[in-house]
Structure formats: C-alpha cells, structure tokens
Amino acid sequence: MAEPTRRRRVVEIALLYGATLVVTVGLTLAQGAVGWLRAYLLVIVAATFLYLPIEVLHRRGEDPEDLGIHRRRPVSALKAALWLMLLTFPPYLLGFHGWQTQWLGREAAPAEARLDRWPVALQEAPRVARPAEGDVWLYTETDAQHRLRWRLPAGQRLEAEVVADGPLRVVAGGHQARADGGTLTVRGGSAGMVAWRTEASALTVDVQAGGDRLPADRLRLGTALTAADTVPYRAQRGWWWLLNLVLVQFLLVAVPEEVFYRGYLQSRLDGLIGRDRRILGADVNVASVLLTSALFAVGHIATIPHPSRLAVFFPSLLFGW
C-alpha cells in the first residue's frame, strides 16, 4: 500500500472511531439534561455505527461488501452467529456467575427472582433533575418499588390513588400517603414524592391536580418520560420485557457494533498492520484483532467508567477470529 493511501486510511480510522466516541459519550452525558434523549439514545448510536462507515466508504468509491458489510447468504450467516453464541454464552454465564458470587460476594437467589416484570416504559428513574412544571412522574426504582413524583403550579394540590392486586407499603413520603391493603392514597402540595413497595402483579394509578384529573400527556413514565396513554394509568407485569431485551440487544447493540468494529474497523486495520496467520482453520490477523478488541473495550468503558466494562476485550477476540 502506498504511503499516502496508508496515511489517509489511518486518519480516516482515527476520525471515525473518534466520532463514535463523541456520539456515545456525548449522548450519555447529555441525557441527564435532555430528558427525551434517553428514549432515542440507542437508535442514534446504532445509526452512527451502521451508517457512518458505509457513508464514508461510498464517498471514497469503495464497496462495503469488500469489508464484509453485506446481506448476502443470510441463512449461513445466521448459522455462523448461532454457533458463536453457543461457544460464547456458556463460558460467559459461568464467568458472570463466578464474578458475582466469588468476587462481589453476592448470592444467587433464583427462588426470589421474578421473570414477569413491569412494562419497559416504567423502568428506571428519569435522568433529569426534576419534573417540568405541571408534570407527574411514575417509574420503578427496583422490580418491587415504585415512585410517584410531581411538580405542579404554585397553589395546586395533588391527589392520587394507587390500587394494586396485592398489599402496598409506603417507604418514602409517608406524611403525604396512607396505605390500606392494596390501596394507597396520596394527598400532597404542589411538589413532592411518594415511594411504595409491592409484590403485586397489576396496579392502577389515578391522579388529580388542582381538583381535575391529570391530562394523560402530563403523566410521564420511566426513564424516557414517555407520556401515558390514559389516566387512570394501568400497568401489569408480563414477559414482553424479555422480547424487548432480545430485539434491542440484537438490532440496536450487537449488529451495529459488529458492523463498525468487525466489518469496518478490523477490516481496515487488516491492511495497515500485521499479517494473516492460520488459526483453527481461519486466516487471522492477530495484530488487527488485538487492536480492534482494545478499541472495542475503550469504547465501552468510556460510556460507563467501570473496570468490568473492559472485559468485552476477551469475547471480542473470538468475534474477530
């Protein structure tokens, strides 16, 4: 490869990898100030990983298929993916179990785990500091704990009733709430919060603000602050979260990451560093696999700075092979 071409590709790789870091880290930080961003964060990041390298390649007159980015032979590709899953999932599960029990000192309690969960829309607290004026937040803090938080115009009072098919217990804001079996009554001022715990499978939340029923678009749900469809709002545990988890992790995480890191980045590095070696029946450029895996790990720890995030380096070696 000519020196100008080599230099141009090094710059291209640095710019594209840097762009992905700016997008992922920037959006992760910005979601704390822009509430609605959390709902679209994964979509924006996935689009960056998928389309940024493809756009650059097209502008350079190069075919993405030359780097393995294509949709040919989907059946054989799916079979290869399933084989890799069979190779990686069992050791990952064993390693994760050992990390949690032996290193972190936690105990597995399968009898206490519930696989029927509250709707995804309710999951996790919003990342912004407080509700907008006139808004009421409803979200789950843990699988068994919910929180209602509000900020109304001055002088307005909030009244709410939560009805569940199991006992409710107030754990915060008790001076504004009273639980009686499966019914929780809340009466508060213009701003406040109440948290409760329940092992129930369904609940209904009715809210009044200033004496009138709260408009549905003012009841905001979960970390994404999605507007409720109706008030009273009804939620029920179910298994849909599992399908959502699989689709999100596959379509918005796994596929975009593999297109960028294995399809674009590793293929580009193959022509710049190292040389192919025959390993277990496949030609592998060890240098490019190692560097790609290191950059892959850095991309993970940049968004969530925890040492465990670097562990993706090791399965990345297998993905690169």
pLDDT at 147: 96
Q: In the numeric block, which tokens belong to residue 110?
A: 């399968």
32 band by pLDDT with thresholds 50, 70 and 90: low
Cβ(140)–Cβ(119) under 8 Å?
Answer: no
64 band by pLDDT with thresholds 50, 70 and 90: confident
CATH number for region 120-238: 2.60.40
Identify which has the larger pLDDT, 5 or 292.
Answer: 292
Whether the pLDDT of residue 281 is over 90: the answer is: no
Q: In the numeric block, which tokens belong to residue 7?
A: 């230099």
For 81-117, the pLDDT digits (tens) are 888 788 888 888 888 888 888 887 888 776 667 788 8
Q: 88-97, 103-112, 147-156, 269-278: which has the highest mean pLDDT?
A: 147-156
pLDDT at 149: 96
pLDDT at 61: 86
Whether the pLDDT of residue 1 is over 60: the answer is: no
pLDDT at 33: 66
pLDDT at 261: 94
Q: Which of 34-38, 69-73, 199-203 is least confident?
A: 34-38
> Once rounded to an integer, what is the mean pLDDT over residues 169-184?
90
Whether the pLDDT of residue 148 is over 90: the answer is: yes
pLDDT at 320: 82
Residue type, 129: A
Whether the pLDDT of residue 70 is over 60: the answer is: yes
Residue type, 282: A
Whether the pLDDT of residue 3 is over 70: the answer is: no
* Inter-CA distances, 62 with 51, 141, 273, Å: 14, 48, 20
pLDDT at 168: 94
Whether the pLDDT of residue 151 is over 70: the answer is: yes
Whether the pLDDT of residue 215 is over 80: the answer is: yes
pLDDT at 14: 92
Whether the pLDDT of residue 36 is over 80: the answer is: no
Q: Is cis: bond before 74, omega within 30 of 0?
A: no
- Inter-residue long-range contacts of 252-259, CB under 8 Å, 24+ positions, other chains counted: 252/42, 252/43, 252/45, 252/46, 253/42, 253/46, 255/46, 255/50, 256/45, 256/46, 256/47, 256/48, 256/49, 256/50, 257/49, 257/296, 258/319, 259/49, 259/50, 259/53, 259/69
Percentage, residues of the chain above pLDDT 70 = 96
For 228-239, the pLDDT digits (tens) are 999 999 999 998
State the burial class of residue 239 (Cβ atoms within 10 Å of its Cβ: 0-12, 13-18, 19+).
exposed
For 284-302, the pLDDT digits (tens) are 888 899 999 999 999 999 9
Identify which has the larger pLDDT, 172 or 67.
Answer: 172
Mean pLDDT of all residues belonging to the chain: 88
Whether the pLDDT of residue 144 is over 70: the answer is: yes
> Once rounded to an integer, what is the mean pLDDT over residues 128-155?
92
CATH 2.60.40 occupies which residues in the chain? 120-238
pLDDT at 116: 85
* Inter-CA distances, 222 with 65, 86, 263, 265, Å: 40, 34, 35, 36
Distance separating alpha carbons of residues 231 and 219, to the nearest angstrom? 8
